[in-house]
Amino acid sequence: MLSTRPVKMQTDTASQNSHPVPISGAWSLLLVASAIIPTIGCATYGFGVADCDSCSPSTCPPSGSCSIGGSCGPSASQPASHCTQASCANQGNCTTANMHCDVPRELRKATLPDYIIEPPDILLIEAVNNIRPPHAPVHAGEPLLIQVNRTIPSGLQDDPVSKQFKQINNIYIIGTDGYVNLGPEYGKVLVAEQPLAEIQQRVENHLQQVLTSPQVMVTLPAPQNQQIVAGQHLVRMDGTVGLGIYGSVHVTGMTRDQARAAIERHLSQHIHNPQVNVDVLGYNSKVYYVIADGGGAGAQAVRMPSTGNETVLDAIANIQGLPTVASKSSIWVARPSPVIDGPDQILKVDWNAIAEGGQTATNYQLFPGDRLYIKASPMITFDTKLAKLTAPFERMLGFTILGNGTVRTIQRGQNVNGGGF
């Protein structure tokens, strides 16, 4: 009976990392050479002795390991009778080239590593605040709240309009020429494209020409930026996401946390203490492929989005079942190797066991980049190739027979019309 225990943890000795990592929990661990795959014992992951077809003394631990008709024990001299089925199931290390016990599958799925952003993923980017930093320049068309103490005193005989002109305590709009107009009593001040502190200093310097020791305070009535960062953002072909007037940020090859940090670092030039939420809405860059052999008449390749939870059965169900020319005994998963010109990593699939018996041993979990190959029946392939080989000759013979038949028909017609009979 299959165990429902989680995937075993083992130490990554290659990187000298003492922390255990899930087997096949990262793509770098998934994409190992096929020669390494069978080194993990079947019994270690809850498979019975029947799942293992060979066991050599070199693979037997000191406690013993069983195999059908094999030997076990710390040395080759120990007879197989000293090893029981229970000891093999609990402590054994039986291996087989046909049973990749460490590969994630149905009921023993592995969690994928942190998602890596790539084009054309769709990201949800939301900035919590939208307040401009103090050093940000103020542009034409924006409002300024200017308040000044010790302005020109108003006389008793001044009309209300004159009194209002002498006071500076209002919201002023920066004109298209870059000047802010303080009224006929004080004139204009050039303030566009300057930070708030510089604007206040310029207004104060200008008013000192008219007033004695004026006290000036310039603030923004609306400190928010003109554009809010929120919504869906497509990762472009160059690996960047556009943030509107704030420019672009390169996010390809990053995790969500790394992308968030990069976006916050970029927005800090335009937003005060930015806090950004980044999530993936469209997982468009991670796919697997289902390739169906056409039996000598080409092949059909279907590109399927990967969610990290698909198995072989899911993939075949997504293409509406096996093709009519498929061979149920010739299905396998081809996993890309990180090693250039490395050995092929092939995981054989027992379709009959999966579909008819509900067995999970070969219902492997599919990962981004996997190829599920469905080979055509050898008889279909042979028939197609034979038809390709004989079709030209059949066509030529057909024309020959048709020509001969036409000539004979014409000759017979001439004999009949000649009145010979």
For the chain, the farthest-separated pair of C-alpha atoms sits apart, in whole angstroms, at: 145
Hey, which bits of 90-187 come out as E strands? 122-127, 143-149, 169-173, 179-181
Q: What is the pLDDT of residues 31-79, one digit of tens each?
A: 433 333 333 333 333 333 333 333 444 444 444 433 333 334 333 333 3
Q: Which fold has domain 122-129+229-282?
A: wza like fold (3.30.1950)
In the β-sheet with 169-173, what is the strand arrangement from edge to edge?
Answer: 169-173, 143-149, 215-219
Are both 122-129+229-282 and 143-219 of the same fold?
yes
Distance CA 66, CA 94 (A): 7
Distance CA 30, CA 37 (A): 9
Q: Give the residue among 204, 64, 226, 216 at the shortest CA–CA distance from 143.
A: 226
> Does residue 293 register a pLDDT over 60?
yes
For residue 267, the surrounding DSSP H or E stretch is: helix 256-267
Q: Give the residue among 323, 282, 292, 304 at the shortest CA–CA distance from 366.
A: 304
Q: What is the pLDDT of residues 256-286, one digit of tens each?
A: 999 999 999 999 988 989 999 999 999 999 9
Q: What are phi and psi of 364, to 5 degrees?
A: -70, 150
> Does residue 329 register a pLDDT over 90?
yes
- Torsion angle defined by CA atoms of residues 405, 411, 417 and 420, in that order, rounded to the nearest 10 degrees: -120
User: Domain segments of the chain: what residues?
Assistant: 9-91, 122-129+229-282, 143-219, 287-379
For 287-379, the fitting CATH number among 3.10.129.10, 3.40.720.10, 3.10.560.10, 3.40.50.720 is: 3.10.560.10
- DSSP letter (8 states) at residue 278: E
CATH architecture, domain 143-219? 2-Layer Sandwich (3.30)
pLDDT reported for residue 90: 38
Distance CA 243, CA 226 (A): 13
